[in-house]
Amino acid sequence: TVVVADTGDLEAIRQYQPQDCTTNPSLILKAAGLSGYSHLLDEARALGDVETAIDQLTVRIGTELTRLVPGYVSTEVDARLSFDADAMIEKARHLIALYAEQGVGRGRILIKLATTWEGVQAARTLEAEGIRCNLTLVFSQEQAVAAAQAGAYLISPFVGRITDWYKKHTGTADYAPDQDPGVQSVRGIYRHFKTHGYPTVVMGASFRSAAQVRALAGCDRLTVSPALLGELAADTAPLEQALTPVPATATEPTLTEADF
Ligand code: E4P
């Protein structure tokens, strides 16, 4: 399992030295406060153009992050565009162009898109242009399969948000790791991808506990917050492989919007 840091916090990246890191607008805003970039937001607020400011901030911090991690920096397209494929494509190209101005090539960036049907279509176009995508907010096998069939480089199936939903709606206080609905969802997607030979990377995300991370050890990648990376680093129990390799034995038909 490749460990990825779910943060834009430069200090945490220096401390944990992950392979990749994943960001989103709220992590970027948090990192801006921590990394001395908040003046960019103040300047743009004065211009009344917060969208430009967020893009600039995202790429400025993202550029710093590319200097600290050897692998990919995931950079998210604003979720408000999630039901407009053309707008997502345009924003992704814009972010890649801003990175290029900073001397960062597209090979270092994963464009993070919500896994709506429109997000999947945007990923198909971007991947064909050589812009790699991280399809996020994956809660179901159908979303995961549609993303893989569109040629997405990576998907981020969520653990915590699924488990939070189940806890809230069933009144369950806590789940044992093997019974955790978020863990089970990601395990199912991982098994399905390997069984069907999809090359798309499966990266478990949205963790609420170190136990959930441990329950998915063996997954292609896991993106974990600095707080949980700290807990895992402090725990001396060895990380046991919870997922085992599955040989590819089947293929399946291409999903359509109706299946989705
Ligand atoms: C990672 O890519 C996601 O942005 C992150 O794990 C989301 O986690 P959350 O459910 O805590 O927002």
Looking at ligand 1, which atom is closest to the CA of residue 225?
A: 6
pLDDT beneath 70, residues of the chain: 40-41, 44
Q: How far is CA 177 from CA 48, 183, 186, 215, 233, in A?
A: 47, 7, 12, 6, 19
Instruction: Return the residue whose CA atom lies nearest to atom 11 of ligand 1.
Output: 206
Instruction: Return the residue whose CA atom lies nearest to atom 6 of ligand 1.
Output: 206
User: Does residue 161 line the site of ligand 1, with CB under 6 A?
Assistant: yes
> Do residues 174 and 211 touch, judged by C-beta distance below 8 A?
no
How far apart are alpha carbons 151 and 257 in whole angstroms? 16
Radius of gyration, alpha carbons of the chain: 18
Give the model's pLDDT for residue 133. Answer: 98
> Do residues 148 and 127 touch, judged by C-beta distance below 8 A?
no
**ipTM of the prediction greater than 0.85, yes or no:** yes
Single pTM value for the model: 0.95
How far apart are alpha carbons 10 and 68 in whole angstroms? 8
Tokens of 155: 């998907």
Indicate the top mutation candidate among 24, 115, 222, 225 to test ligand 1's pocket, ranked by most ligand atoms within 8 A of CB: 24
DSSP assigned state of 129: T
* Adjacent-strand bridge partners of 4: 20, 223
Give the model's pLDDT for residue 5. Answer: 96
Give the model's pLDDT for residue 244. Answer: 87
